[in-house]
């Protein structure tokens, strides 16, 4: 048995894989593959309608927000956000908590002034800055809720009094949030929602068109909102897989239920990291991510030996990001407690072998 701790594209429920694979051959008894069906067909329109309805239900999205399924990943949103809401010559405030937050700020700086209000780069992003203020003349505040490389997570929205944008690519649908706390939420699907290729954007309607820019239509949220995410050919298969996964999450009991499972999974793994003298967590305890657990050992030789044991035990994808080394166990929604226990058992076994 393989236990997939990969950071993304990541594990999805076996039921979703099964249904998606069947649809590749014959989608809903149409005699056509989901890969070839027209995106304008009634059958696929129903997929988009159901996917949007499930997002609204699972996240309790207010009626005055649009739910969009776009392409280009979160990276495209780094640019689309300021294009749509930052006026020419305007200022935006960004919280720097890692690589992706830095990239988001860099893209925004091409469209206006960016003020980085706080950064944890001084300690290799192993904590979330807490004490900072946002300039009153900033148009919006942007932060990244979960930092996959460094294993930190923001569990409560920072208290700011201006429109707020959050990149939730790696923890969307993993915990209960108040959508109304944010003006834009965006997330690549390939962590907790579905297959790579589609990006979820939840945007407050009143903020649409406020930049005053004459945008190419494809980069204008209003174009996609008016067309119901069908402005151009959408990523059909990725949206379909997301819909299946959203169905699975609803059947489990929704976001509040999966959050409790995620808490247990993360706690189980962190407890072993803290107990086992051979391993050490890298993130500040109060900021530890539930989605990406990062840890190291004392020497590269130890790490190589443990990776070899992990491979023999079917543990896949635990090697840390190339920029930080060590280990990273990504424990997204579909990863079971069985896989967590398998990793914990391997850590205990390695401890015994090292005595």
**From 191, 204, 265, 287, active-site residue:** 191
What string of DSSP letters covers 249-313? Answer: HHHHT-HHHHHHHHHHHHHHHHHHHHH-TT-EE-S-GGGB-SSEEEEE-SSHHHHHHHHHHHHHT
Rounded to 5°, angle at Cα 80 from 75 and 86: 130
**From 167, 171, 220, 287, active-site residue:** 167
CA atoms within 13 A on the CB side of 34: 23
Q: Is position 191 annotated as part of the catalytic site?
A: yes
- Is 60 annotated as belonging to a binding site? no
Q: Which of 112, 173, 175 is nearest to 142 (CA)?
A: 112
- Is 248 annotated as belonging to a binding site? no
Q: Is 45 helix (H, G, I), strand (E, B) or coil?
A: helix
- Is 232 annotated as belonging to a binding site? yes
- Is 40 annotated as belonging to a binding site? yes
How far apart, in Å, do the first and last CA atoms of the chain sit? 28
Q: Is position 248 annotated as part of the catalytic site?
A: no
- Is 233 annotated as belonging to a binding site? yes
- Is 56 annotated as belonging to a binding site? no
Rounded to 5°, angle at Cα 256 from 248 and 59: 75
- Count CB atoms within 10 A of the CB of residue 230: 15
Q: Which residues are annotated as a binding site for pyridoxal 5'-phosphate?
A: 74-75, 100, 148, 167, 190, 232-233
Catalytically annotated residues: 100, 167, 191
Q: Which residues are annotated as a binding site for L-glutamate?
A: 40
Q: Which residues are annotated as a binding site?
A: 40, 74-75, 100, 148, 167, 190, 232-233
């Amino acid at each position: 048995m393989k236990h997939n701790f990969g950071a993304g594209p990541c594990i999805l429920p076996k039921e979703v894989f099964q249904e998606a694979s069947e649809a590749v051959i014959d989608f809903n008894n149409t005699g056509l593959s989901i890969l070839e069906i027209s995106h304008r067909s009634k059958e696929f329109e129903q997929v988009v309608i159901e996917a949007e309805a499930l997002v609204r239900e699972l996240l309790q999205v207010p009626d005055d927000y649009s739910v969009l399924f776009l392409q280009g990943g979160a990276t495209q949103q780094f640019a689309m956000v300021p294009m749509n809401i930052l006026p020419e010559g305007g200022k935006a405030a960004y919280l720097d908590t890692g690589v992706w937050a830095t990239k988001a700020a860099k893209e925004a700086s091409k469209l206006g002034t960016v003020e980085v209000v706080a950064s944890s780069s001084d300690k290799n992003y192993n904590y979330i800055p807490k004490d900072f203020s946002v300039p009153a003349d900033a148009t919006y505040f942007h932060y990244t809720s979960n930092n996959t490389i460094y294993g930190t997570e923001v569990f409560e929205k920072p208290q700011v009094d201006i429109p707020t944008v959050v990149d939730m690519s790696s923890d969307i649908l993993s915990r209960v949030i108040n959508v109304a706390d944010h003006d834009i939420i965006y997330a690549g699907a390939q962590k907790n929602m579905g297959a790579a290729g589609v990006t979820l954007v939840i945007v407050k309607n009143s903020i649409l068109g406020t930049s005053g820019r004459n945008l190419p239509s494809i980069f204008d949220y209003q174009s996609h909102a008016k067309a119901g995410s069908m402005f151009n050919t959408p990523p059909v298969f990725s949206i379909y897989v997301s819909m299946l996964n959203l169905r699975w999450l609803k059947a489990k009991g929704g976001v509040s239920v999966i959050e409790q499972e995620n808490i247990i999974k993360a706690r189980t793994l962190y407890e072993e990291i803290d107990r086992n003298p051979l391993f050490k967590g890298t993130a500040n305890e109060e900021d530890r991510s539930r989605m990406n657990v990062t840890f190291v050992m004392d020497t590269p030789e130890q790490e190589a030996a443990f990776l070899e044991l992990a491979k023999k035990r079917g543990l896949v994808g635990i090697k840390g990001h190339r920029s930080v080394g060590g280990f990273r166990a990504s424990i997204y929604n579909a990863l079971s407690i069985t896989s967590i226990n398998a990793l914990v058992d391997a850590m205990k076994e390695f401890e015994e072998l090292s005595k």
